[in-house]
Amino acid sequence: MHRAIESFVQDELGDWVAILVCGHGQHVRHKPPFFPRPWVLAEDTRTARIGTPLECVRCDRFELPPAFTAYKRTPEFEASTIPAALRKDHSTKPGVWGVIHVTAGQLQYIVEAPLARESVVDAEHPGIVVPEVLHRVSPIGEVRFFVEFHRRPPV
Ligand SMILES: [Zn+2]
């Protein structure tokens, strides 16, 4: 899916990495003739690219950015106490990831386009909530779960 460029950093070799609003990094090397990106070499042309989208395959794979850390969690819900808002399509804010931890039973987890995936979340298979992507949950019988929210750690 597309993610806007938020900033740029250099890796240990001096190659440029675009940091996307989702929290993922993506190399944007100038390697002609196959990857001609002369714009990445100068600060003004690089800065002009901020806000433009890149395709993020890590979001497509539901990969929680490794450097992100948990900063809050919901109370534990059960089938009868799931807030209505979680059973309808909703999403997290830019840069906020969620992890659905099921402690007992099973939960159906439905993710809308552009990721479009339906899965069953249980104690062994937590559900990863990708920022800004609409999703909802539905209990499969009795279930207990909570949602933990992750973001980039404060500098
Ligand atoms: Zn991403």
Please give the domain boundaries of the chain with CATH numbers for all domains. 2-60 (no CATH), 69-151 (2.60.120.10)
Ligand 1 ion: residues within 5 Å (CB)? 3, 22, 24, 56, 58-59
Residue 70 Cα to ligand 1 midpoint, Å, equals 17
pLDDT digits (tens, 9 = 90+) for 14-38: 999 999 999 999 999 999 999 999 9
pTM above 0.85, yes or no: yes
Residue 151 in tokens: 């973001």
What is the Cα–Cα distance from 106 to 145, expressed in whole angstroms?
A: 9
Residue 105 Cα to ligand 1 midpoint, Å, equals 30
Q: Which residues pair with 128 in a beta bridge?
A: 99
Give the E-state strand segments of 21-68 in sequence order.
Answer: 25-27, 53-55
Is cis: bond before 36, omega within 30 of 0?
no
pLDDT given for residue 70 in this prediction: 97
Backbone angles phi, psi at 60, to 5 degrees: -55, -30
Strand order in the sheet with 53-55: 25-27, 16-20, 2-10, 53-55
pLDDT given for residue 146 in this prediction: 98
Burial 44-75 (b: 16+ CB within 10 A, else e): eebeebeeeeeebebbeebbbbeebeeeeeee
Backbone angles phi, psi at 86, to 5 degrees: -80, -20
pLDDT given for residue 151 in this prediction: 97
| Mean pLDDT across 2-13 | 97
pLDDT digits (tens, 9 = 90+) for 91-145: 999 999 999 999 999 999 999 999 999 999 999 999 999 999 999 999 999 999 9
pLDDT given for residue 134 in this prediction: 98
> Which residue in 116, 72, 77, 75 sits closest to 92, CA to CA?
72
Confidence band for 2, pLDDT divided at 50, 70 and 90? very high
Residue 88 Cα to ligand 1 midpoint, Å, equals 24
pLDDT digits (tens, 9 = 90+) for 36-59: 999 999 999 999 999 999 999 999
